[in-house]
Amino acid sequence: MLYYEAVYPLIREMLTCKKENLALYITNSFKIICKYLDIHTEFIISSELKKDCSMKGQEKVLSICSILGATEYYNAIGGQQLYSYSDFQKQGISLKFLQTQEIVYEQFQNEFQPNLSIIDVMMFNSVEQIQQMLQKYTLVCE
């Protein structure tokens, strides 16, 4: 693995996180990865927002969007069956789905295995290469 020396300490830091709350544990991992990739973004823990916790699915997402004053909502392409363009439109929110383009990189001399974790991507690619990969998507809108 070409970038083992740089990436392994990050993995160790993620795995040794003492957060007992799963959302905070995962957020910590995201923050470590974002720092490594020079991605600057704000993280908001939805469980910390004052909202009706009995809501589920699309209703919950729309409520969170309302609380945050969102005008756009982006989701992975696999969520197209979960959300209604018209329901989001009624709330003044533009619904968009991210369709990742094909990403292939060398994994030793083996046949490429797609859709593995970000850790695999980080082990085999430079920060610059990963930043370029993150630009390989299409927005799907109604």
- Look at residue 1 and tell me whether its pLDDT is greater than 80: no
Asked if residues 56 and 33 have their Cβ atoms less than 8 Å apart, the reply is no
Closest CA to 118 of 3, 17, 16: 3
User: For 47-102, what is each residue's pLDDT tens digit?
Assistant: 899 999 899 999 999 999 999 999 999 999 999 999 999 999 999 999 999 999 99
Query: Which two structure tokens, joined as six digits, stand for 126?
Result: 């430079």
Contacts of 127 (CB under 8 A, 6+ apart): 36, 37, 38
User: For 22-59, what is each residue's pLDDT tens digit?
Assistant: 999 999 999 999 999 999 999 999 989 999 989 999 99
pTM: 0.86
Half-sphere exposure of 50 (CA within 13 A, CB side): 0
pLDDT reported for residue 131: 97
